Amino acid sequence: MTDRSGLTEAELAAELRAFLAEHHPGRAPKDPGERLAFLQAWQATLFDHGWAGPGWPPRWGGMGLPLPLQAVYHREMAAGRAPVPPNNIGGIVGPTILTCGTDEQRARWIPPLLRADELWCQGFSEPDAGSDLTSLRTRAVRDGDVYRVTGRKVWISGAVHADWMLCLTRTGSQESGAAGITCLALDMHAPGVRASRLRDMTGGAHFAEVEFDDVEVPVSHRIGAENEGWAAARATMGHERSTSLAASGMRYQRVTRDLLDLARRRGQADDPHVRDRLAQAVTGARLLEWSGQRVLARVLEGGEPGPLASVIRLQHGVFEQQLHTLAVDLLGPYAQLDAADPALASGERHDGNWLRGFLRTRASTIGAGTSEIQRTTIADKVLGLPPEAGNSRSTR
């Protein structure tokens, strides 16, 4: 594995640009199955050439880059329009295993996760436990060297194609709350696991409902101690709401430039009201990048994202929605056309992607904890405000 941690920012940028010029695979296919295989192959290429996991320890296949070089890495990948990983769960689950797992677990799961040889999903939300995660009901009962898992998870991204699930289960009493939760690595191909696709408003089926019927999970697949899975859950949610969004903040620098280009092509770039909204978008993208770097710095120093995770998650969700709302406003009636619609000229096919983004980001203030939950956490943990009467302030 090539050690690039001692390079200057300019040297790393030059090396990465040269790599992308030689190995960039082009645009991903539209077909979902072909797209997944394409993205897995690209992730394997990154791993095999030492360009995967910029902030992950070299011992487990990462690059071990210091924070300034991580920023360069993500900026160059975004500028080069490099394909994204097969799903964003790897960047959430991986740090959790690195933080809470054993060396044996890290050696078993981290390299194939980082190379995308094995795909993961995150089994947290349930029909009756979304934002109030501590009330989850999926039960794991110890039976010798295995846990027997029974229950149901819902709105699970990528579950249909996943090989493993980072699954929160109830091992204590139902009244035990966070103190009775255990985190398990559950084999999605094990007998008793059934995943059913859920179609969303974009027309895609990225989510699934997953049922467990007496699924056996080896005790050796437990992440952390029994009844102490809430620590793993907090680590996962912290990365989901913070470090995994840092790269997204840098990608939005490019997306914002695409938005500026759209305004010019639509002849609206000189409209004062539009220019004001564009300036807000540019400022928001930059603030999102800086917030991500701030949280990354804290994590790399050995700390947890803490309540800053809620700040950046709220910031990200609101920004995504505002950005795509502006895009569909610029498109006017053309915003109703999908990218495949024949009414769009060949050079304007990507304009239809704004509609998909607009529909997709309606969920940005729901996923990974609703905006209401984030605001409550910020009020409590950051601003130190007293709780409202009757508000128990959920830990989700």
Q: Catalytic site residues?
A: 240
- Kindly state the tokens that stand for 349: 């096919």
Nearest Cα to Cα of residue 165 among 221, 102, 238, 206: 221
Cα distances (angstroms) measured from residue 340 to each of 26, 30, 345: 19, 10, 10
The token duo for 343 is 């009414």
Residues β-bridged to residue 152: 211
CB 257 within 8 A of CB 221: no
277: tokens are 């909204």
- Single out the residue of 221, 99, 225, 217 nearest to residue 149, CA to CA: 217
Across-strand partners of 187? 164
Distance CA 44, CA 189 (A): 22
Provide the sign of the torsion angle of the four alpha carbons 103, 105, 108, 110, taken in this order. negative
* Contact assessment for residue 273 and residue 330, using Cβ atoms and an 8 Å cutoff: no
Helix (H) or strand (E) segment spanning residue 285: helix 272-300
Alpha-carbon gap, residue 360 to 89, rounded angstroms? 17
Q: Which two tokens stand for residue 126?
A: 């349930």
Kindly write down the DSSP assignment for every residue of 170-189, as one continuous string: E-S-GGGGGGGEEEEEEETT
Give the tokens for residue 25: 């695979």
351 and 339 Cβ atoms separated by less than 8 Å? yes
List Cβ neighbours of 12 (8 Å cut-off, separation of 6 or more): 4, 65, 69, 72, 73
Quickly tell me which residue has 């097969």 as its tokens. 86
